[in-house]
Amino acid sequence: MLRRYPQRKIFLTVLCIVLLLLSCGAQASEENEIPVKNMVTMVDLGADKCIPCKLMAPILEKLESEYQGKAAIIFIDVWKDSEQAQQFGIRSIPTQIFFDKSGQERYRHVGFMEEKAIKKQLDLLLAI
């Protein structure tokens, strides 16, 4: 039956691929939503080549595993993704922005931020 209607087979294949791509795109945008929905979120806006940002990288990795499931720790390289820098209105890097579970910005810091200070902000927001 498909031999008689090769266009139909091609159409159905293309339609399936398009639907699959659209559903993946919807999931990706929800996963990449900043701040993360219903979760305390810390966004660190910096760059891979920025010295203070490099110093913070191991701290952020440690905190990401320590707060897994409780808070989202997100790093954005603003030199690679300048739209994000504009979205958050930053003027210098690194900048850390802390959001509560409802997505409201609660605290902003510019410059290197020590692990102890980051933990303090995260714990305050988790307690709300």
Whole domain around residue 22: which residue ranges? 1-32
Q: Which residues, 6 or more positions from 60, have their beta carbon under 8 angstroms from its beta carbon?
A: 44, 73, 75
Q: Say if residue 13 is in the same domain as residue 74.
A: no
Annotation marks residue 50 as catalytic: yes
Q: How many domains does the chain contain in total?
A: 2
Annotation marks residue 24 as catalytic: no
Each residue's pLDDT, cut to its tens digit, for the chain (128 residues) gives 445 555 555 544 443 443 443 443 333 334 468 999 999 999 999 999 999 999 999 999 999 999 999 999 999 999 998 887 789 999 899 999 999 999 999 999 999 999 999 999 999 999 98
Q: Say if residue 1 is in the same domain as residue 48.
A: no
Q: Say if residue 97 is in the same domain as residue 52.
A: yes
pTM of the entire predicted model:
0.74
Q: Which of 40, 45, 47, 53 is catalytic?
A: 53
Alpha carbon distance 40, 27 (integer Å)? 20
The crossing angle, in degrees rounded to 10, of helices 51-66 and 115-127 is 40
- CA distances to 2, 18, 21, 45, 119 from 9, in Å: 7, 14, 19, 48, 56
Q: Which of 50, 110, 124, 126 is catalytic?
A: 50
CATH for 60 = 3.40.30.10
- In this structure, what is the dihedral angle of CA atoms 74, 72, 116, 104, given to the nearest 10 degrees? 90
- Closest by Cα among 25, 20, 38, 49 to 103: 38
